[in-house]
Chains A and B, each alone.
Chain A
Amino acid sequence: MQAEKDDNTAQGPLRRWLDDMPLGLAPLLIACMGLIAGLYLLVNPVRGGHADLSMWVFGPLHADAYQTAADGFAKMTGRTVDVQLINYNAVNQKLRSALWAAVNIPDLVEIEKSAAGGFFRGPLDKVGFLDLKPFLERDGILDRIPANALAAYTDRGAIFGVPHDIHPVMLAYRADIVDSYLARRGLRMADLATWDDYFRELHDLLVPDQRYLLQIEYGDAWAFQIFLMQRGGGIFGPRGELRMDDEVAVGTMTWMIPLVAEAEGRKVAESLGNWDPSFYRGFIEGFYIAALCPDWRTSQLEAFAGELSGKLRLVPLPAPAPGGLRTSQMGGTMLGIARSAKDPGLAWQFARQIYYGSPTQHGRLFRITNILTPDRRAWGDPAYHEARPYWGNQVLGEQFIALADEVPPFYSSGFLPVAQAKLNEAIVACYSQYRSHGAEGFEAFVRQRLKSAADHVRRQMQREPDWDAGR
């Protein structure tokens, strides 16, 4: 023992100190490494890029296009933009976390329309986005875009986002099946001006369990919302008021449910899913001969249903009644500028370039996505006037442009997710009711069911504090 102690004394204080470490040398090394790494990071903090502007987008095609635009922007202004591609679901969570922590907030961000309302809650001056109305007015852009395109991003008079798109809805149908059939009867698809015309004239094409006249997925509220907006309704109104149980909604539900819930033989609409490969397979195999088709869905059909090349055509939606609206609206993306943006002027300059800049740039993107920009100035680009072989040489751009000003408004709300969920429940309940009891008392049931769904949402809305009271 004494010898060991002498030995330690002889080895010096450092060695003795090391030997005294209760867990040996390894933890000390780990601690040292941690200390060195920590000190290094303290001196050289990791920054989210050294660009002048940061931007988050969730669409890969958008990211590519904006990166190209950012390169041009850098050459033009000498200022750089860091375009980050983030998953669709992640971008909402990441943005919400960033806004809460006031850390790493992007200067610009793209958000999907249905999620936008959640970011507009709270006192107006505390919303995480800048009111872009002054910019839009100053640059005369308000006159260049259809007014309804801004509805989803307008809250209490402030415009928190600029629209990337309009998304008119058309009807994509199997021309190889329908056109020759109608021709034999001396009709054309364009003659079927209302839904009643459509289902009546095509009824003989219906083959129970083999072929239906329209794809409608009753299990989600997607188709219902399209029909609802086509009839001038909506889940929310312009002042954020809930409208999901008004007479338009009751009428839409009473009309739509029998299409999918009638007994086999009278049922005219079916679905194999809205978003998965079955949807395309069903269309390819002729399980349904038509589908509701916003502009963005046309490019998905081109990509995932190549077999239908030359067999599909687009026509305006048949109207709910003679003289009614021939289109609707579904989906959308906004671009917002964060209130915390380092240089809002510069951020707007880039936003203007990518959203309302060169028509050629929009045209290039349209050729890939088929998504119509709301910027009228770009509609003159040749890309919007090209025949598309996939669609039997129809000129898609011109078709969308013809409907652009009729696209109904969609009003956002922070309560949209809960309203959509309750609407979905109501649709399923109405479907079950019709399946079991038929048309008798159906309208009264629909009215009661929608009201109870809406009451639930209203109860949640009533909990919302009046954020701006007393300001």
Chain B
Amino acid sequence: MQMRNARTAPYLFLAPFVISFLIFGAYPIVRSMILSLYITSGPEAQHFVGLDNYLYLLRDPDFWTAFSNTATFAAGSVALQLPLSLGLAILLNRPDVRGRDVFRFIFFSPNLMGLVFSALLFMLILAPRFGLLNASLHALFGLPLTTRWLSTPELVMPALIMVALWLYTGFNMVYFLAALQSVDGELYEAATIDGAGRWSQFWHVTLPGIKPVLIFVVVLSTIGSFQLFELAFLLLGNSSGPDQAGLTIVMYLYQNGFLGGDLGYAAAIGWTLAGMVLILSLIQLRITGTGKEDR
């Protein structure tokens, strides 16, 4: 009896999660996959099209616009964010920096604000003629006051990347700070004795020491960037911006599913995005050699 209880107990405790996952996780996943094979307009108006949604997607220039925008955002924000976050973390990890706790809080604090608030704030900062950014650029470099950051197609993506930098640099900094603090200090002492300079120490001690976290942050930031929606949607006034310059893949999914009413096509977009993120993550892990050292 006791043995049987011991054997069944784990299953009993797992059951709530497993049941919830099956209902709220697995079923929607399977259902959305099936849905992606239909043109839909409500549960009773579904028209089976097989893989046509996916084939159409490949020829859909809007999807590729969305993909290009999203990839640009991901590349731009990850490429700028990570070095900045790491640099800040290294700086604020030094014991000789006075008030470093305050600085850590300041850099992290944008993340404490809601995305909606941040978007509203930046709508004001980026406003032409009266915005803080234009006023500063005008005062410092004599640039025109009327630069329209959110309504000039070429400037929309830089503006989004800039806001994302403000939002997430401090957040990633915290990951790097935690990683830096776990690097064994003796390694630095040994490296110093061996005559290694600061750059050499960074390259041969710090980077290998924080590599798992670095890879984690890169993968997570890339995935997060590919899921960009709210920030662009709010900043661009519930639209994809001028010339669709702010159209992201998730925004395109939203437009088709929730504005256009075709959840089938939206599901196909969602699955394509999932596939892209998966492939990208695998490539990143492959390049960085993650997993090999575990074997």
Contact = CB atoms under 8 A, between A and B. Distances in A.
B10 A115 contact: no
A128 B13 contact: no
Contact of A276 (B12, B52, B124, B146): B124
Contacts of A96: 257-258, 261, 263
Interface residues of A, number: 57
B142 interface: no
Interface in B236-260: 237-244, 247, 255-260
B244 A92 contact: no
A467 B45 contact: yes
Nearest to B241: A219
Contact of A414 (B13, B52, B242, B260): B260
Contacts of B240: 421, 424
A456 interface: yes
A272 B128 CA distance: 6
A415 interface: yes
Interface stretch (A117-125, A163-171, A350-358): A117-125
A463 interface: yes
A244 to B, nearest CB: 15
Contact of A465 (B5, B47, B123): B47
A22 B42 contact: no
Nearest to B59: A459
Nearest to B128: A272
A100 B262 CA distance: 12
A102 B129 CA distance: 49
Nearest to B148: A219
A220 B239 contact: yes
B263 A429 contact: no
B125 to A, nearest CB: 11
Interface string B1-29: 01001100110110010000000000000
- Chain B: number of interface residues, binned into ranges: 35 or more
B45 A429 contact: no
Contacts of A219: 148, 151-153, 241-243
Contacts of B203: none
Interface string B128-171: 11110000000000000010101111000000000000000000
Contacts of A424: 239-240, 242-244
Main secondary structure of the interface of A (DSSP, over half): helix
A93 B259 CA distance: 8
A263 interface: no
A273 B16 CA distance: 51
B250 to A, nearest CB: 13
B185 interface: no
B78 interface: no
Contact of B255 (A34, A418, A463, A467): A418
A449 to B, nearest CB: 12
Interface string B256-287: 11111111000000000000000000000000
B44 interface: yes
Residue with the greatest number of chain A CB neighbours at <10 A, chosen from B128, B146, B259, B262? B259
Given A20-B2, A22-B9, A118-B260, A429 B41 contact: no
Interface stretch (A44-52, A180-188, A277-285, A368-376): A277-285
Contacts of B61: 456
Interface of B: 2, 5-6, 9-10, 12-13, 16, 39, 41-45, 47, 49, 52, 56, 61-62, 123-124, 127-131, 146, 148, 150-153, 237-244, 247, 255-263
Interface of A: 16-17, 20-23, 27, 31, 34, 89, 92-93, 96, 99-102, 115, 118-119, 121-123, 126-128, 209, 217-220, 271-278, 281-282, 287, 414-418, 421, 424-425, 428-429, 456, 463-465, 467
